[in-house]
Every structure is written in structure tokens, then in C-alpha cells.
Structure 1
């Protein structure tokens, strides 16, 4: 069978796995009937292609190959379905509703414990018993730092803590914690308080990693030492400080902190240079051993395995003195990985690694040709990040809804530094295995390059507009953009119009988002505690009431605004006497035109409003939020707002007792009016309030706030329902739908 036939079969396998997106996979559960229907569709498509394609492609293979391709596609869909993690009959998660209070779980640690943002230790545990009852399943564990220090993979432990069910995304743009864990076969979580070791720490790759990291941190200090180790081993193996990690992500340098093909290529290049005088077979074995050790140190990751397979293919080509086709090798690597684990088709690391490598292969030479007026070294330095960005940017926009504005210039400027640090870090790591002090001395030479790298990243991330929220793009837009990119790559007569096609792709992404932004009238109540953050969109003008603390802004408010493509606020309103600490982060990330706050507090505690105009918030004040929404301040202690829309009137009440300026508020002391919608936070909502306001819809932070809701009242609780949205002409919608965890794995 010739190469063309193999390419068709491999492409059919990969394309069929991608086609599962039609079913909504991996963001929602899929029934077996849908899986079967998709598999049958591929089998039929293979037969149809066998009759249709030869009419347009003179060199097309015969009918049996196309039938085989259809069968491969059908088998690929079935393979993926079989590999989807399923909950066992005695899975620990099934007992969570029955277990109240503390539970004792015994099991074995599955991965290297690391620190989360709250400086707690996190890891996965293969559970064996709970309260001396035999169970199975994996559980996501967090324990205090002192309890988790010294824990290592494959160690047996007993943990006392509280079991819980991971929560799904509570609002658009939120991190889907439940889905993230479910993709790893984890359906429950455990917040541990005490840990007891049952076995001694076994030997493992973690010991070598720890030896390398200690040697590099010894004289480099923190965070420089962790940064160098992260560049060499990947951030999964190193506890890098949050501020450094976030800065690199915002700058568009997240790939620098991840073990990737760049590191494998650099390692392989050094090995080939050092072994250039040896026989081909010897170079092959040395290279494969080195790559195997690197995989052991970094862990099995899709991006690393892709590069390792391609590296092994290149080594085999050198040993046998045969020419290797890079594109064929990339396709082979992708197919082998997906045969081993078809779920990797939806792994972001795999997708970015494949697209970036493809871009480097097919686009870099063409960009270098266009830059022939520059010295070759500089032209290549510019072409490499530009080519990789062109192929990965649409996917990054689809996943993160934002673009790092200065990503390409930062990558161009930092490539020499990153190469030097990576190479020096690898040498330091190798020497540290033999003589740690010598490894520390070599790592010390990287201090100033690492400091310069950090300074460049911090400089660009503090520039105005360093990150631009584009908004959520749909799957059909993503496929159309990549379809256009593939047409430019494959068809010469289309390539002549690459500028127009590029403009079409930009408009295809931006136009629908900004059309919705300019026409949408929507109110979103975000699931924040103790007060709900409220985002009001009125045909291009956006306002925010309440910010919450810094964690609320980071994990709830900003992700939602990015999902909406919002980069500025017309009005920011803080009705609280106690300063909400999240406003500083809001002013840092968004452009705010006007900031309303209680006069007695004004801007105390906020260091820099970044040019936002301050306005006092007073009772009786009316704020026109746009053409369809008007906000009136009814009272400031407690906070009572009246919000008028074209479809009814809202009453926003924050009933916190006692109030700073009104210790014992009563219904008689606060001006209220009948309203169709009541947004209530604070103390329990009393029946006399419902009788006076007579709402048709009540929105609260907790359903316990309304102990006896009337039947004619529609009740939403953000704690249960996630974010609650009202849109002009469409009514209300809750973000979280009740699902059966047994049927929903992603």
C-alpha cells in the first residue's frame, strides 16, 4: 500500500475523532445512540467518497480504500466512546451524598503533589476504602501545606476530610472543574485536614526531579530558580509562583513553561552534535535513551510524546541513512498517539503542539522568503513565532476568548534568551545528577538571562492593552477559519488571495461578536458570595454593580467579561460601605469611565482608578445605563436600587443586618415599590416583603433565603443555578442544568 493510501486512512482516523464535536463532545454527555449514528455515518461516508472522489481526483485510490477509510472512521468513533472514563458501580462519588461530616479515605497517591493558588497541596488519590468500606475510583484531594509536605507518588496514605461533588461551570467563561476532573476519570473531591502515611516514600522519577530543582534553586533563589527548572522540566513538575506563571501566560509565553517540542528538539540537537563522530546505530540508541529519560522527568504529556515520536523517527532516518518526510512523520506521530489515547484529540496541549509544528513546517519557509531582504538569522527569528501564531491563534481564541496583544514581538525578543536558558538549564540538570554543587554553579550563570526574561515579560504585561478580550467564538467559526488556512496552504491559486482570505477570517470572528455586543440588552447575576456581582449590557454600554474580593474578580467577574468580549466599563458601581477589594483588579484589567461609590468612603483603599471619573452614590440619584436600562438609587443603607427595563421593573436589595448607617432597618424605613423582579441578598427574605413587592421572579444567592416561596413566584438561586441571565425578548435562563452525573463525564 502506497503512502497516499496510508495518509487517507490516518486522516480518516483523526477527522472522525474530531467529528465527535458535532455531538457536543466533550462539553456534554452523549448517548450511545448518537455514538452509533456517528459511526454509521462514517461508514456510509466512506462508500459515498469511493464513488464521488474519483470523479474529481484522477489519482484517487479505488473504492476499497475509501470503504476502508469509512470503516476506520467508524472504529475510531467507537474507540473513543470506549475510552471515555466511566463511573464504576462502587465509585466513591456515589457515596458522597450519604456521607455527612468527616470521612476517612485510604488510598495511594497517583501523581506528584503540587501547590494550588491557595498554597494547599493537591494530588489525585486512588481510593481503596472510605470509613473502612471498600470502594474504588479516583478522588481529587487538597490538604494544608504542612500536612502535604513530603508526600510522593505511589505512597499509601489515610486522609480525614470532607468529601464533595466537583461543581460544573457556574457561568459563561468559568472553569469547568467537574469536566476537567471527569476527563481524568475523577468524579469526587476531598478537602483533607489531616494525613497519615501508611508506607514509606517509594523510589521514582520524582527523586531525580527534586534533585535537579534543589540544585538549580540553591544559588539562583526564588523565583529565578523555579523559573529555570520550569523552562527545563515544565511547570507541571515545578511549583512556580503564581505571579510569574500568570505573567508568562498573559504575555503569550505559556509554551515556555511547558515541556514541549521546543525542548525536545533542543535536547535532540545537542545530542546529535555531541555524537556526530559516532556510528549511526550508536547515535540512535543514545538519542532514544536521552529522550526516554526526558519523558520520565517531565511525565507523559501529549505535546512531549508527539515531539519524542518525531525525534525517534528522525534518529531512525539518520541511522538508516534514509530521508524522512517531516509532514508524514507528524501525521504518523499524531495517529500513534491517538491510537494509544483517542481522548487526546481534545487535549489542548496535543492540539497546540500539532498545529504549531504544522505551522512551522509549512509556513515558516514562505515567511522567510518574504523576508529575504533581512539577514537569514533575523528572518528566521521573526518567521518562527509568526508561523506558529498564525496556526494556533484561532484555537487559543476559541478556548480562552482573549489574545495576548504583544505575543509575537515578545516571542521574537525572548527566543535567544529562552534558548540559552533551556540549554544551560539542561546542562545544569545533567551535572546536578552527578555533582549537585557543580549543577548549582552552572545554573547560577543563568541568573541574569532569567532576570532579563522576567523583566521583559513584566514590562509588556504592564503596557496598556496587553490583553484583549475578543469574546466567545463558535465551533463553526473555528472550523471555517482553519478550513481557509488549509486552502491557502494546499491550493496555489487560492494562495494568491491570502490577504483577502485573512481579512475574511478576521471579520468572520469579530463581526458576529461585535454585532451581538452592540444589539444585546442583558442583565447577568453572577454566582458570587456574599453579594452577587451584576453585569448590565445595554447595546454596547456595560456596567458592573459589586466587584467582590480579588478571588471573585479573578475567577468569576473577569472570565465572564472576557467571554463576552468586554474590555471596558461605562459604569462601575460599588454600593457598599466596606471596600470591595476586587475593584483594584478591575481597574487594572479594564478601562472604566465612571466609578460610583458611597460618598463617606469615596476612593479610600483603591490606590489607582486608572483615570476613572469618581461620582458619589446618593439616594434619589438616577443613572441612565443606556437606551434600555435605567438605574435609580432608592436607598444606600441598606442598598436598594430600582432598575427599569423595557419589559418590567427590577428591585435590587442588599439586606445586610446590621447596616453601618442604619443598624435596625425595617421595611417601613426603606422606600420600595412593586416590582416584577426582586434580586435579594443578605438576611432571610420575610413574607411581608414578598407581599409588599409582589414579584413574579425572585433571584437570591441561596435558596434558603426564601424559606416559603409562593407557587406563583419563579425562584432562582445562584448557589444552585449558577449565573442567572435575563435578555430582552428572551426572558430568564439559568446557567446550570440539572444533570445525571452517571451520564455526564465532561
Structure 2
């Protein structure tokens, strides 16, 4: 085999999934992109017999599902049974996320438990002894693991199941917490990288919460009927244990999930059980599978209706910034301490004073570590996001108020939307709940294409544009109910907290007859805090630069957003000499225009300007207190 060897890229934006680290934790250092003509097939194999047979059974079962259910319902059952999310409609997936039951699609201990339960129930139905039935359930679960793949969550469940079965066979009681610890230790000895994966953390976290906290919660809910108290306790314990983990990895919490799971989990269990029986029947007699699938179709429809209603409830899903490590440490310390606190309170002797003092201190630190990020950093932060061949600049004031300059490429015809894929996820990870204003420098798709997704995902106070940008011509006034504001050269905005924004271009009468009137009438903004200023130039070209020079509208600035992605006919020498920046940020990505052009890079270099590029450095975050400047790159060390 021949091909090109490469090192996996670091994430292009802060907080993105780190594919490089993910692979390294699995012992993979390099990627090979093979050339089709360089591949020679020497021989073919099917792998080990058990796994190969299990995969064939899986393919046959998937075919039965597709043949017996409508497309949407087939995708739902495939996801529930085998974790095949690619078959699930995107809208349904979002619905399950907002209702807090998406964990049912992550094949885990719940699924292994259902399968093992079916195996055990079958054994008892056939009058087999409890021990032999348990052994059968373990073998059935083992075969299921081969079908779905050996993931951390299912391996945990499989190991715990077999520890329990061995205890039954040897007449030894198995302690669940010990079994959980043993399963975790065994998995981490084999693959230490599991520790940092969401699947491992959520699976072990939920199981620990159920085992450790649910007895306490059952006692607290003793005024309820036993079945309801147990159900609520299990659901609440799992949510308490996994809530911060979900917030850390996915920046969101489904607020009604405890109650939704009371209905969703038993219903999903019935759907899975009937689905497995239907698939098994379909391997031998398809008409029977269709009859069973017709019944299952009713259950799946009910499941989707319930989750749709719960996802539409007020505050069904709250986006939150990922909690800081200090918060996580204190939070889980409190969870561990909780049963001891309750026991100390009920001992009739005033309780353990040391335990109570520790709890008070932990609660104080918990609240402080939660509130601290919302207090603001005290710095002006300007982040040039890596959105490919386009622009998107996030401006965060001391105190946290946030603005956006341009919204990157996007739209249906682009096949990629910076708003949905980059900007909104970044803002949510930063804890941004509202954009005060969005500045659109000019009406080119690579600068405003992601606007619709941004406004759909984050509340926006208003959209600012220049005279050349006519929102009604682009259907924006029909699409958005957000206020629009027109600005031009000479306008000034006091953004607050000592930060000023001055509009330097375009003039009251737009430039015409240039090489590109749209680019040359770009909105040019000067952000200033103390002695530090940022010049944001949109896609300004030579004609626009000459006009600004002619009318003395080119200020000095410490940081320059290089115009037009570093195009050859932008960023002229005289223009750069007038600005005299120390740092220059180029927002660019793969493109057919040759941006940034070699001559532009040479001009910047000759003037001693430090260059940062989003296609090389990833997102560029520049922080200032009005006197000093710090630079942080998504791909590399800050300077």
C-alpha cells in the first residue's frame, strides 16, 4: 500500500473535538491516505469466526428492520438496538437530545441489561435453573457485545454482568461498587485513554450514581409509592452524577430529563425487546417479523410523540458553559459526602461537626467556581475564528458583553455553515447567552452566510450594516425580526467598559466604478481600549484603501485584521505603513483564489509585522487590558 502520511490536525477552534488527542490515546500517531492505484489486495479474510458470524447476524437484522418498518421508525430502532445513529433523522436526534433521552441511543449497560434479561427470561421460561439461565444470559450478552462492538460503556456492563454471574455460580455475593471499580480498573489497564472519553465517563458516572445515591434518594422519597420512589431515585441519581459531565462535553442540560426518563426508559425497553424478538423471527420467518414490527411501530410512534412533547416544553434544554475543573472536583466531593451528611444528621447526637464544616466549605467553593466565569475576565478579547475561507470575529468586552463581526460562510448551497458548525458552538462553550450586535461588513456569502444559524442559536440585539448592504434585497428583513441599523464613516459606538468602536468606512456616498464595489465599501471598524486598538477591514481592496488614505481615515492600530483574507490587491504598502500594526491576523482557509497571496505576506514580513493565520494557527484569540497584549492560538502555544 502506498499513500501520503500525515499527522492528525489539532482542533481549529477553541473547545473543538481534538481528533489528534483522540487518536493518540488509542496509540495512533499518524494517518495514511492511500492512493487507489497504490493498493494491492493480497488476500481477503473474515476475521475471527465468532466476530465475523456476529457481524453477519447484525447485517441480517438490520435488513429485517428496514424491510418491516417505515424509514424513520427503522432508523429509530437501528439506533436503539445497535447504536447506528447515521440511520436516524437529524430532527429526531435533536428532539431526543432536548428531551434528555438521547443516552438511549448510546449503546450501554441499559442495552446489555435488556439483552441479558431476555436471555435469562428465556431460560426460566424453558424451566432451566437460575444458574444455568444466568449463564445463558451472559453468553447472549457476550454475543450482543460482538454485534455492536466493544465500546467502553458496553464493556463496563459486560464485565459487571459476568462478575455477578460468577458470584452466582460460586455462591458468592458480589458487591456492585466493587464490581464497578474492578470493571473500570480492568478497562483502564487495557486502554488508559478510555478515561478521557465521554462514553466511559458517562457510563461509569451514571452507574456509580445509581448504586451510591439511589438508596439515599429512595429513603428521601419514601412518602411516594415504592415503584415511583425507586424510579425517580434511579433517574435522579443518574442525572446528578452525569449532569456536570454532560455540561462539560456538550454544553447543555435537559431540565426535564428525570421525569422524561420515567416514561422513556421502560418504553424503550419494550421497543428493544420486541425489536430483538422481531429481528430474530425475521431471520427465519419474515411474515412473523412483520406482524411483530406492526406492534412495535405503535410503540415507536408513541415514544417519538412523548419525546417531541417533552422537547417542546419551556426551558426543556438549557445551554450552559462547560464547568471548570475546580467546580467538577468540588461537586463530586459533595456527592461523595452527601450520604455521610444525611447519616450524621440522623444520628441524634448533633451529627459529625467536621463533616458539616467540610460540606459548608465545599458548597461555598462550588458556588464561587460556578459564578466566577460569569463575572467577566476584565479584558477585551477579540477572537478570529477559523471558519474556512471567510470571516467571523467575536468581540468580548470586560464584563462579558459580546459582539460578532461577520458570520462566516454558509447557506444551503455551500454545503457547510460556519454559523452552525463553528460560531454557535464556540459561543455556547464561552457561556455567551446573547450577542449585543452583529456587524456585517459587506454582502458576500463568505461573510454573512452563517447569519441564519447564528440568529437561530443565540439571541441577537441587532444587526449593523453599511449603506451598500441592503437587507431587503437579500430577504433578510423578511427572514429576521431583529432590528437593523445602518452606519457609515464617522459614526461612533460606546460599547461600554472603556471600549469604543468607530466606523471609518464606507463614506456617505459609496464608492463606485472600482474593481469590486462590494469589497471596497466594506465596513471598516476601529476598536479601542486604552492604548490598544484593533482595525477590522472586511474585504477592503486597493481602491478603498486609497480613498481612506486620501481622506486621512487610516489610523494607527496595534492589531490589524488583514483585508480580504490576504489578497494580492489589498493591504498595500502605504496602507500598512500608515497603520503600523505589531500583529496581523489573516482569516482564511482552503480556497481557489490563492489567499493569502505571497506578495501580501512578503509586505507584512518586510514591515516586521507578526503574522497569525487561521488556516495554520487555528482560531486566534487576542486579549488586552488596554496596555498589554496576549495572543493565544488554538493550534499552538500563546505568545
**TM-score, scaled relative to structure 2:** 0.81
- How far has the Cα of 1:313 moved from its partner? 2.2
Q: Measure, in 2, the Cα distance between the counterparts of 1:280 and 1:411.
A: 30
Which shifted more, 165-174 or 240-249?
Answer: 240-249
Distance 1:500-1:572 versus aligned 2 partners, 3 A rule: farther
How far off is 1:678 after superposition? 1.2
Q: For 1:663 and 1:713, how far apart are their aligned partners in 2? A: 19
User: Among 450, 473, 476, which residue is 1:582 paired with?
Assistant: 450
What's the offset of the Cα at 1:652? Answer: 0.9
* Matching residue of 1:275: 123
Would the alpha carbon gap of residues 249 and 165 (structure 1) be closer, same or farther in structure 2, given more than 3 Å must change?
farther
CA deviations over 1:628-667 (Å, ceiling 9, x no partner): 22222222412311222223222111226699xx899886
Asked if the contact 2:441–2:538 (Cα under 8 Å) also holds between the matched residues in 1, the reply is no
Deviation at 1:301, TM superposition (A): 1.0
After superposition, the Cα gap between the structure-2 partners of 1:589 and 1:371, relative to the gap in structure 1 and judged at 3 Å, is same
* Distance verdict in 2 for CA 1:612–1:180, change over 3 Å: same
- The residue that corresponds to 1:733 in the other structure is 631
Does 2:70 align with 1:221? yes
| Structure 1 CA distance for aligned equivalents of residues 29 and 313 of structure 2 | 41
Asked whether the equivalents of residues 217 and 440 of structure 1 are also in contact (C-alpha less than 8 Å), the reply is no
C-alpha deviation, 1:391, in angstroms: 0.9
Contact in 2 for aligned 1:647/1:728 (Cα 8 Å):
no
Structure 1 stretch displaced more, 596-605 or 508-517: 596-605
Alpha-carbon spacing, 1:693–1:620, altered in 2? closer, same or farther (3 Å): same
Is 2:504 aligned against 1:634? yes
Q: What residue in structure 1 maps to residue 534 of structure 2?
A: 650
Q: Offset of 1:298 from its aligned partner?
A: 0.9
Partner of residue 582, structure 2: 696
Residue 419 of structure 2: aligned partner = 553
Find the partner of 2:612 among 683, 693, 716.
716
- Which shows bigger deviation, 699-708 or 414-423? 699-708
**1:400-419 superposed matches below 5 A:** 400-419=250-269
| Among candidates 218, 230, 233, match of residue 82 of structure 2 | 233
Shift of 1:406: 3.4
| SS of alignment partner, residue 631 of structure 1 | strand
Deviations, residues 588-613 of structure 1 (Å, cap 9, x unaligned): 22111222235543264458877533
Residue 462 of structure 2 corresponds to which residue in structure 1?
Answer: 594
1:532 CA drift (Å): 2.6
User: Which residue in the other structure is 1:510 paired with?
Assistant: 370
Cross-structure match for 2:559:
677
Q: Distance in 2 between matches of 1:164 and 1:737?
A: 16
Instruction: Decide whether the 8 Å contact of 1:523 with 1:727 is kept in 2.
Output: yes
C-alpha contact 1:213 1:226 (8 A) present in aligned 2:
no
Cα distance change, pair 596–738 in 1 and its aligned pair in 2 (3 A):
closer
* Distance in 2 between residues matched to 1:460 and 1:657, nearest whole Å: 52
- Deviation digits for residues 348-397 of structure 1, max 9, x if unmatched? 22221111111111222222222223222222332222110111122223
- Paired residues of 2:471 and 2:477 also in contact (CA < 8 A): no
Find the aligned partners of 2:405 and 2:105 in 1 and give their Cα distance: 37
Contact 1:468 1:567 in 2 (8 A): no
Runs of 4+ in structure 1 deviating by more than 6 angstroms, as ranges, are 494-502, 607-610, 662-666
Q: Write the mapping of 1:282-361 to structure 2, written as runs, cut at 5 A.
A: 282-361=132-211
Partner of 1:620: 490
The structure where strand makes up a greater share of residues is 1
CA distance in structure 1 between the partners assigned to 2:36 and 2:109 by the alignment? 40
The equivalent of 1:541 in structure 2 is 401
**Which deviations, in whole Å up to 9, do the C-alpha atoms of 1:46-71 show, x marking residues without a partner?**
xxxxxxxxxxxxxxxxxxxxxxxxxx
Residue matched to 1:687: 573
- Alignment check: 8 A CA contact 1:234 1:259 kept: yes
Q: CA deviation at 1:420?
A: 1.9
Relative distance call for 1:306 and 1:643 in structure 2 (3 A) is same
For residues 22-61 of structure 1, give each alpha carbon's deviation from its aligned partner in whole angstroms, at most 9, with x where no partner exists: xxxxxxxxxxxxxxxxxxxxxxxxxxxxxxxxxxxxxxxx
CA distance in 2, matches of 1:617, 1:448: 57
Q: Supply the distance in 1 between the matched residues of 2:560 and 2:188 (Cα, whole angstroms).
A: 51
CA–CA distance in 1 between the matches of 2:458 and 2:18? 24
Cα RMSD of the aligned pairs, angstroms, is 3.2
Alignment of 1:44-443 (within 5 A): 106=1, 129-130=2-3, 164-189=6-31, 198=41, 202=46, 204=52, 205-235=54-84, 239-276=87-124, 277-443=127-293
Q: How far did 1:197 drift?
A: 8.2
Give secondary structure in 1 for the equivalent of 2:538.
strand
Quick one: structure 1 residues 182 and 395, their matched pair in 2 at CA, closer, same or farther if it must change by over 3 Å?
Answer: same
Partner of 1:24: none
Preserved CA contact (<8 Å) 2:255 2:317: yes
Q: Distance in 2 between matches of 1:607 and 1:447?
A: 43
Q: CA deviation at 1:250?
A: 4.3
Structure 1 distance, partners of 2:276, 2:552, is 68
Structure 2 residues without counterparts, runs of 5 or longer: 411-416, 507-520, 589-595
Specify the SS of the correspondent of 1:186.
coil
CA deviations over 1:89-114 (Å, ceiling 9, x no partner)? xxxxxxxxxxxxxxxxx3xxxxxxxx
Structure 1 residue 521 corresponds to structure 2 residue 383 = no
Matches of 1:338 and 1:626, distance apart in 2: 50
Aligned length: 577
1:706 aligns with: 601
**1: CA distance, partners of 2:7 / 2:425:** 23
Change over 3 Å in CA distance of 1:666–1:707 after alignment to 2: farther
Distance 1:397 1:185 in 2: 28
- TM-score normalized with structure 1 length: 0.70
The equivalent residue for 1:58 is none
Q: Displacement of 1:192 after TM fit?
A: 7.2
Counterpart secondary structure, 1:297:
helix
Q: Distance in 1 between matches of 2:337 and 2:212?
A: 13
In the TM superposition, what whole-angstrom CA distance separates every residue of 1:563-621 from its partner, at most 9, and x where no partner exists?
21111111122222135232222122211122223554326445887753332344433
- The CA distance in 2 between the partners of 1:646 and 1:458, in whole Å, is 51
CA distance in 1, matches of 2:361, 2:100: 25
Contact preservation (8 Å) 2:620, 2:634 = no
Post-superposition CA distance 1:696-734 (Å, at most 9, x none): 222112564422313532222222222222223351313
d(CA) in 1 for partners of 2:154, 2:534: 54
